[in-house]
A and B are shown apart, each in its own frame.
Chain A
Amino acid sequence: MESFFTRYRNALVLIAVLLAQVIGLAVQVRRPEANAPDKGGVRLIRSWVVNSVTPPEMLFHWIGKSIRGVWSNYIDLIHVRKQDRDLKAELDRLRLEEDSLAEDARQGQRLQTLLGFKEKYIYKTVAAQVIGTSGTEQSHVLLIDKGAQDGLKPDMPVITPDGIVGKTRDVFRHTSQVLEISDVTSGAGVILEKTRIRGVLRGDTWGQPEIVNVSPDERIQKGESVLTSGGDAIYPRGLAVGMVERVIPQPEGTLVNVLIKPAANLARLEEVLVITDTGNEIPAEMAQDLTDAQQKASDVLAERLPSRTDPNAPADEQPDAPTPGSDANVTPPVKPPQPLHPDHYTPSDTPPASELVPGQRITNAESAAASDQNNSPAAPDATTPARHTAETQARPSTAPPKPKTKPAASPAASGHPAPAKQTQPETKPAAPADGTQATPPPATQPQGGA
């Protein structure tokens, strides 16, 4: 018996080692959640390995970062001023865009509240440095330098400003593993931005993300944006994922896979953000940003618009210029055009045919008379206001029109001489139909009042 063990010692050791590992594999695979973070001894071994490997990696990373910092902060400052100008211009542009989108955001939030939809807002993120990878093509895993001590937990989304990266898997004390979206075992709920087709994103065997098992649809075009759908309860809704690269039919079946070019550069990641806290209410900081953006956008617009008065400019001698006391920046409201004919179909308004003039569009005698008056050289314009007033005065039953202008903008109130076409007929209040005394005209006289 002893000679058997001596003779086959090598083979027996090999079998024992393999058997132990196969049993260990079986125990690990038997867990109900295959992609869940490890527990017990497996986690301990993984923790030993990661803690053994990461300190030198952090050291290398720190050295590289220091060298880059010295270069970028003290030496490579040639184009900083130009960049500063460009960034300020871009900031102004973005403020205007943000202002235009803020109202949409508020409206969307109100509608979501009405519908009972629970939007996830990002409350808090933790910035982390990527210090290593798994080192194999079969496992798309990153190592970051933040762990449980920094508030990280398993299954937290990891993003960059460009798009999503993956989610945390095993979280150790000072480091964490991040499973990239390009891994075969990853999964994320996504939606195509235009076609609104939903699907599950995972990596293919070459390490490129793809939306799997999608029904063929001709509307899916290259370049369409892909966003997170929020259906996986990990990634907040609306984060950029990438763009459609091409559609690949599955070898078996009638479904297709949609290859995605990730928005985040997964091959060259240095810094990532881990979303550690989300909620259903819009964060106070974001709300404040929206308000600030609206105010700042107004300032930007005020600087750009020509309506802003220049204090050094010469005085305007035009009669319709605003008064010194009025606000120079207020643009008068646009007046709606007056109707040409208040009523063409009132009985007994049609004049006899002998009084009609060829080409004349006015259909009653009073209107024709008013038209004759307006065609005289004294009238600056033979158009509607005077004609309209004459008609309304001739018909007591006509409803009184509303004032056309704001009180402050009224020529009578401002003390400036008004054009003839506005003053003569429009400032004279007509007698009421019941014969009572008309009230004296207020400071804001209605135009064409009845």
Chain B
Amino acid sequence: MALMASSRHEVGAKSFPLVVYIVVPLLALGLQSLLSLHLNQFDLIDLPLLVTIYYAITQREPVSATLAGAVIGIAQDGLTHHALGIFGISKALIGYMAASLGVRVDAENHGARMLLTFGFTLAQTVILWLLQRHMLGQPYAWHGVHELIRAVVNALVGVILFALLDLTRRTEY
């Protein structure tokens, strides 16, 4: 199977300069907040989620991916009026799952990245729905077609964004 990792070279972990770990999530949060103000449909895209997925599938370390997802998610919660932890829990779970899958899947393949992003976007929607609707008892907008469109858009944007982020990393053998 072409999407599965077939050699040690393919599963070699990638690392990033420390500044990238700090600046990229902040940039993702800032752009998400700023562009949603000027582009009506930009809130379909979830840049913090894409960054979480990217770090997870390239690092392939579930613990760090879980922590990174939790921190990015809580920061995203900070921009909303929701209780802190809704995005934190969902992104921690997504980070863990993406890192676990990243070991088994060829994360350098654009098709695999697209499929992973598509699936994790839908997974995050399900987690958010469970948390808000059934755990917190708050209303949550669930519109099937809309969520599918969101997943497709994130998958397409993710491919481009991952290619850009690839430029910042250094390979470790």
Seen from chain A, the residues whose Cβ lies within 8 Å of a Cβ on chain B are 9-10, 13-14, 17-18, 21-22, 24-25, 28-29, 35, 42, 45-46, 48-50, 52-53, 56-57, 60, 130-139, 141-143, 169-170, 177, 179, 183-185, 205-207, 267-269
Contact = CB atoms under 8 A, between A and B. Distances in A.
B66 A17 contact: yes
B135 A177 contact: no
23 contacts: A10-B63, A13-B62, A13-B67, A14-B62, A14-B93, A17-B92, A24-B83, A24-B84, A25-B84, A25-B131, A49-B29, A50-B78, A52-B26, A53-B30, A53-B33, A133-B43, A135-B32, A135-B43, A136-B43, A137-B44, A138-B132, A138-B140, A143-B79
B2 to A, nearest CB: 27
Contacts of A170: 81
B96 A14 contact: yes
Contacts of B160: none
Contacts of A184: 138-139, 141
Main secondary structure of the interface of B (DSSP, over half): helix
Given A52-B26, A132-B37, A135-B29, A28 B84 contact: yes
A135 B141 CA distance: 15
B20 interface: no
Given A25-B135, A45-B78, A133 B37 contact: yes
B85 A169 contact: no
A25 B81 contact: no
Interface in B57-94: 62-63, 66-67, 70, 74-76, 78-86, 88-89, 92-93
Given A10-B96, A53-B26, A138-B82, A60 B34 contact: yes
Contact of A132 (B34, B82, B96, B100): B34
Interface residues of B, number: 48
8 interchain residue pairs of minimum CB distance: A49-B78, A205-B141, A139-B80, A135-B32, A132-B33, A10-B62, A28-B83, A21-B85
B161 interface: no
Given A57-B33, A132-B34, A184-B139, A18 B89 contact: yes
Contacts of B89: 18, 21-22, 25
A42 B74 CA distance: 10
A42 B26 contact: no
A17 B84 contact: no
Given A28-B83, A49-B75, A177-B81, A18 B63 contact: no
A123 B84 CA distance: 36
B40 interface: yes
A240 B106 CA distance: 56
A5 to B, nearest CB: 12
Contact of A25 (B40, B44, B128, B136): B136
Contact of B81 (A49, A135, A137, A139): A139
A14 B92 contact: yes
Contacts of B141: 137-138, 184, 205-207
Given A21-B70, A138-B128, A48 B140 contact: no
B137 to A, nearest CB: 9
Contact of B33 (A28, A143, A205, A268): A143
Contacts of A52: 26, 29, 75
B33 A133 contact: yes
Given A133-B36, A135-B29, A13 B79 contact: no
B120 to A, nearest CB: 15
Q: Counting chain A CB atoms within 10 Å of each CB, which of B63, B132, B140 scores highest?
A: B63
A46 B78 contact: yes
Contacts of A205: 139-143
Given A9-B63, A135-B32, A185-B138, A141 B81 contact: yes
Contacts of A53: 26, 29-30, 33, 79
Q: Counting chain B CB atoms within 10 Å of each CB, which of A21, A49, A56 scores highest?
A: A21
Nearest to B40: A267
Contacts of A56: 30, 34
A21 B38 CA distance: 32
Contacts of B43: 133, 135-137
Contact of B79 (A50, A60, A206): A50
B131 to A, nearest CB: 8
A179 B81 CA distance: 8
A138 B1 CA distance: 38
Nearest to B25: A52
B51 to A, nearest CB: 13
A134 B70 contact: no
Given A21-B85, A139-B81, A205-B141, 7 more contacts: A21-B70, A21-B89, A25-B89, A52-B29, A135-B76, A137-B44, A138-B132
B63 A13 contact: yes
